[in-house]
Amino acid sequence: MNTLWVLSLEPTARALALMDRLGPALEALAEALAPAVPFDPAIDRRDFRIAFQDDIAIALLPRLMPVLGAEAPRCTLTVRRTDWKTAPGQLERAEVSIVLGYLAEDLPANARRRVVVNGHFVVLRADGAPEPISLDEYCRRHHVLVTPAGDLRGRADMALEALGRKRRVVPNLTDCTLLPSVLAGTELIATVPDFVAETLAAQGGLRIDPTPFDPLPAVISMAWRGTTDGDPAERWLRGRIVSLLKRS
């Protein structure tokens, strides 16, 4: 009887460690050596894959979609949700080429990054009180907190604690698009990034006040895979995103 031997090779722990360290460099080298594929947005087809946080999508997508329709009519856009926890993995696994959000520092080693919005938090409300909201009024009212984590604390709570004050969060939402309907007809208030507040207030029924304490920064970064850094199509899209989010 003949015996069939099946041999397989498995990498050692040392080899796996080396691949983890060399992977980004090899990927960047492959991208540098690969010829760039020209891109003409008017006639070329591309499926752009981007991950947004919900509040950024609210501000950007209504501006981006008409641009794609007019300038790149044959291109498609695939949108996925992201946050500071999931963004690094989405880039590393090449699920998307671009992420936009409040990004932490632990991005893949070969990722590129730039700040696209330097905003700040403001107060959003639906009532008709004529005066800007005071600190006492801010602490008296019930608050709506929008957070993907589903917790009951936000950055405003830390600012209030520094002043020896506190607030009460009643409803917690994971989606900013629900704010207009939740705030309507109530004294509820929400503390959100200014670019989100401006987009929602433009629909009517909401007003914006400054926070009654030092403004909290809301910094939005865009990160992308190093292998797409020189891709003409991806560069075109990143340029459009930056111009659409640019604020006077």
Q: Give, to the nearest 10 degrees, the angle between helix 54-71 and helix 232-245.
A: 120
Domain with residue 101: its CATH number is: 3.40.190.10
Give percent of the chain with pLDDT exceeding 70.
83
DSSP string computed for 53-108: -HHHHHHHHHHHHHHHHHH-TT-EEEEEE--TTTHHHHHHTTS-SEEEES--S---
Neighbours of 110 (CB within 10 A): 19
- Whether residue 126 is found in the same domain as residue 205: yes
Model confidence pLDDT, tens digit, residues 170-224: 988 888 889 999 999 999 999 999 999 999 999 899 999 999 999 999 999 999 9
Q: By residue range, what is the domain housing residue 52? A: 39-117+219-245
Q: Report the first-to-last Cα separation within the chain, whole angstroms.
A: 82
Same domain, 176 and 103: no
Digit-coded pLDDT (tens) for 132-169: 999 999 999 999 998 876 677 888 999 999 999 999 99
Of the candidates 246, 221, 212, the one whose C-alpha atom is nearest the C-alpha of residue 112 is 221
Backbone angles phi, psi at 176, to 5 degrees: -65, -25
The predicted pLDDT at position 34 comes to 46
Q: What per-residue confidence (pLDDT) applies to 8?
A: 53
Residues 127 and 183 in one domain: yes
Specify if 163 maps to a domain: yes
Structure tokens belonging to residue 215: 């403004």
| 186 touches 221 (CB < 8 A) | no
Do 92 and 149 belong to one domain?
A: no
Same domain for 108 and 226? yes
**69 & 188 share domain:** no
Whether residue 17 has pLDDT greater than 70 = no
This prediction has a pTM of 0.78
